[in-house]
Structure 1
Amino acid sequence: MKKKIIKILKIILPLLLGVFLVWYSLKSATPQEREELWQNILNANPWFLLLSMLFGGLSHLSRAYRWNYLLEPMGYKPRLANNFMAVMAGYLANFGIPRSGEVLRAASLSSYEKIPFEKAFGTIISERIADVIVMLSITALTLFLQTEHLLAYFEANEINPLISVGILLVLVLIGVLALQLIKKSKLPFLIRIKKMAKGLLEGMRSILKMKQKWAFIFHTLFIWIMYILMFYVVIFSVPGLGNTDFSIIMAAFVVGSFAISATNGGIGVYPVAIGAILVLFDISKQNGEAFGWITWGTQTLLVLILGGLSFIFLPIFNRRK
């Protein structure tokens, strides 16, 4: 019973958080600000939105193609169409239950390509490791580009950066001590965590040992370049954002990426988070949130279309096999 309640809360709480943030953002805005936000969304240039969707579609296609580089060493080479439809169906499932998409994706390939679920799911973990490394690299680069702005922000808010660095070092030290505790512990819960960590490390090593690792690295970089482009081109559809510095857009991209992982597909949280970070760079809240809503709406529409069609055509396509 307790496990069921926890599962339900994992689904409901992120949705409630998203709804609350949308409500609070609109309630705290004046009627004029709400009208400006709405007009920015209505007047968005559709050609840049279509271009954004094109970049998004290319990233999903590349992800489906990249998957085979992890499956081939185990003797499997599923058809690209099945890979792509499994990926898109998984993305759509994430809107309902966070992280359920990875399970559905592996299950789809297991059903239609006769690949053991455990092996298919293991490859997904491996590619997620590669994505996390790229994401952390982008985050580090963005922080470096925004060093001057961060220092100015610290000074304006009387925040001592040395204290922040000290806190970070303490957290790292706690993390190292926690890892040592997990490594030596005999507690069942910590043993499970240790096994999971070991599996992640093995997945990372499998990436380095694969025969076509350079092709895998190319597609990984291509996927993230497409992510950045599908995000960046939307600024040209919002009045007043066309001349925004690229480093500022990258800061918004990083915040948006973390916002998506916090809720069911970023529902509610994504546009509010984008608006909040852009306000720090003297961009109006209405322009920032309009940019967030348009970006989120464009890519969500793409997932709804391709994910919905994938659910329909997966069984039809494989019935002809």
Structure 2
Amino acid sequence: MTFSLKSALKYLILFFIGVGILYLAFKGQDLSGIWREIKSANFLWVIASAIALWIAHLLRALRWRMLYQSINYKVGFWHTYHAVIIGYLANLALPRFGEIGRCTVILKTEKVPMFASIGTVITERLIDIIVLLSSGLLMLFVQYDLVSDFLYKTVYINLAVKIKSLNYLWLFGLLILVIIIISALIYFISKKLNKKVLRVIAGLKQGFNSYSKLKNKPLFILYTTGIWFFYFLSMYLAFSAIQITSGLGVNAAFTALVFSSFAMVAPVQGGIGVFHWMVAQALVLYNLSFKDGLAYATILHSSQLLIILILGSLSLFFVLTGSKKINNLH
């Protein structure tokens, strides 16, 4: 896959936006105090948190493999596992590039058509979005007074101010331009529809149908539940790493999980900056200082990055060297 200068600049800008948010999050904070908390952390709990996250990745590979099996592709577990981890590694360099990276690994190792794989990945992501939105609604329902106050002060008021400052004539013009561009694209595709495009559409449709063709939907749902449980467990175990967060309970971990998951949706490499700010804001709701929340978020995010860098590099090595011993296990 080749990248134009325009694409490179776009990703570079996104990276600097993430760094900018990280700078704003730490600006004015007691950096020496944050560093002292990080140095005093009990890293056995950090390791336990990282292991919980790794188990979630294993379950994601098992779940993804089920989607392939439903559309009659016999894909080995270790191939899907390597693809998932390499995808996360690729996301550290370029936001959302990991989804293409995952499919490329499966194309190389199992010869599954690219667009069939992309269809399964989109299906998987849609399911995760449903889980995330459901979790967000559950968080609001269970802790309405706590979370609604934050949403009103931090999100609604800021959004209302920005909307009031908009030039509605400019906004209307932009909307018309978007409609024209979409109409032109639809017209162009309908006129230029050829066999190659039809094959792409057929591949995507095959991937999209993977969930409906599952023979064991309860197992798929169990894997999905397991993935999100171990994400939650990773957040909860990390609380014990530093004294200031060790007293926080399951509600705080659940809220931090929801906030951090929305942060990871942002098109920024590895969620840098956005993750730190959102997790720290979540913990402020539980009477922690923003500084202490940043210390926790930094420890958690750093451990997540480290595990992806280590495991991603190992998976990349196995895939590139074509290790028969590891890769051919089904």
TM-score range, shorter chain: 0.7 to 0.9
Of 295, 302, 305, 1:297 maps to 302
2:77 counterpart of 1:97: no
Partner of 2:22: 22
Q: 1:274 aligns with which of 279, 300, 313?
A: 279
Post-superposition offset of 1:197: 12
Amino acid at match of 1:221: T
On the 8 A contact 2:118/2:204 being kept in 1, the answer is: no
Deviation string, structure 1 residues 147-179 (Cα, Å, up to 9, x no partner): 12245558989x89xx9xxxxxxxxxxxxxx9x
**1:219–1:150 CA distance, 2 compared to 1 (3 A):** closer
What's 1:167 paired with?
none
Are the aligned partners of 1:238 and 1:287 in contact in 2 as well (CA < 8 Å)?
no
Task: Output aligned runs, 1:105-144, within 5 Å.
Answer: 105-144=102-141
Whole-angstrom distance in 2 between the partners of 1:114 and 1:202: 15
Q: 1:164-313 residue pairs with structure 2 within 5 A? A: 186-188=183-185, 206-262=210-266, 263-313=268-318
Matching residue of 1:77:
74
TM-score by length of 1: 0.81
Q: What is the TM-score with the length of structure 2 in the denominator?
A: 0.79
Shift of 1:298: 0.9
Q: Is the 2:119–2:208 Cα contact (8 Å) retained in structure 1?
A: no
Q: For 1:281 and 1:239, locate their aligned partners in 2 and report how far apart those are by CA, in whole Å.
A: 15
Contact 1:41 1:238 in 2 (8 A): yes
Task: From the superposition, tell whether residues 241 and 107 of structure 1 become closer, same or farther in structure 2 (CA, over 3 Å).
Answer: same
Residues 160-206 of structure 1 deviation map (CA, whole Å, 9 limit, x = unaligned) = 9xx9xxxxxxxxxxxxxx9xx98xx85425997xx999999986664
Q: Structure 1 residues 74, 200: closer, same or farther in 2, change over 3 A?
A: closer
Number of aligned residue pairs: 295
Counterpart-to-counterpart distance in 2, 1:95 and 1:132: 20
Q: Per the alignment, in what secondary structure is the counterpart of residue 243 of structure 1?
A: coil
Q: Distance in 1 between matches of 2:51 and 2:287?
A: 30
| 2:41 corresponding residue in structure 1 | 44
In 2, Cα distance between the equivalents of 1:190 and 1:119? 25
- Work out the percentage of aligned pairs sharing the same amino acid: 31
SS of the equivalent of 1:23 reads helix
1:140 deviation in Å? Answer: 0.8
Kept in 2, the 8 Å contact 1:252–1:274? The answer is yes
The Cα of 1:78 is off from its aligned counterpart by 1.4
Deviation at 1:279, TM superposition (A): 2.3
Give distance in 2, aligned partners of 1:24 and 1:259: 15
Does the C-alpha gap of structure 1 residues 151 and 258 become closer, same or farther in structure 2, counting only changes over 3 Å? closer
Task: State the SS of the aligned residue for 1:111.
Answer: helix
Task: Tell me: CA distance 1:17–1:155, structure 2 relative to 1, closer, same or farther (3 Å).
Answer: closer
Q: What letter is aligned with 2:54?
A: G
Question: Deviations 1:52-109 (Å, cap 9, x if unpaired)?
Answer: 1111111111111112211112221111111111111110000101111111110111
Task: Give, in angstroms, the shift of residue 49 of structure 1.
Answer: 0.9
Q: Report the aligned-residue RMSD.
A: 3.2
2:170: which partner in 1?
none
Amino acid in the other structure paired with 1:239: Q
> Tell me, which stretches of 5 or more residues in structure 1 are unaligned?
164-177
Contact 1:63/1:219 (<8 A) preserved: yes
Quote the Cα distance in structure 2 between the aligned partners of 1:115 and 1:200. 12
- Using a 3 Å threshold, how does the CA distance of structure 1 residues 127 and 152 change in structure 2: closer, same or farther? closer
Which amino acid in structure 1 is aligned with residue 282 of structure 2? Answer: I
